[in-house]
């Protein structure tokens, strides 16, 4: 959890863009009388009015679909140009501003690139993992990852937006769907 929070702070302080949720500040909670939260890292982010997942569950109006996808693409393009991979793109991590603007969020698994690739923790949301992450060997630094992992996840998200939330792969569970890839 500490590493995830560190990545959120690092990316938030170095890579600002209108399509990325803004990190307003962070602090360590000092609550010695409450050991469960003492030392917890608190991230203060800009306010969002909901997520793409909530919008999908409610039904995305057809006229809003193109701008939604364009906003996600703008955020991903900026991340990639800045040398980062999101590594956990999914509807829950696409937030919507009160004005309808799209903001990518949850950079806890984000990975900084060294050249053409980086190393991510062997985690992520199974339904959005590309085939190479399903089969990737776990090295000392994690799983090798490239920006194409985000593009794969984007394809799944686009499919969900235009198919009212359904996965493009058949299977009752995320693991079964991953095997179908």
By annotation, the residues acting in catalysis are 88
Nearest to 69 by CA among 104, 23, 109: 104
Nearest to 96 by CA among 159, 53, 125, 66: 53
């Amino acid at each position: 959890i500490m590493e995830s929070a560190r990545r959120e702070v690092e990316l938030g302080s170095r890579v600002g863009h209108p399509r990325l949720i803004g990190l307003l500040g962070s602090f360590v909670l000092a609550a010695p009388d409450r050991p469960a939260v003492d030392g917890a890292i608190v991230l203060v982010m800009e306010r969002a009015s909901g997520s793409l997942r909530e919008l999908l569950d409610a039904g995305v109006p057809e006229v809003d679909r193109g701008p939604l996808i364009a906003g996600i693409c703008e955020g991903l393009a900026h991340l990639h140009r800045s040398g980062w991979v999101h590594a956990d793109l999914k509807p829950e991590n696409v937030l919507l501003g009160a004005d309808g603007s799209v903001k990518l969020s949850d950079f806890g698994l984000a990975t900084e690139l060294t050249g053409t690739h980086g190393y991510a923790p062997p985690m992520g949301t199974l339904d959005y993992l590309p085939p190479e992450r399903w089969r990737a060997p776990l090295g000392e630094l994690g799983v090798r990852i490239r920006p194409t992992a985000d593009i794969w996840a984007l394809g799944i998200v686009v499919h969900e937006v235009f198919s009212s939330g359904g996965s493009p792969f058949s299977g009752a569970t995320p693991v079964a769907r991953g095997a179908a890839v």
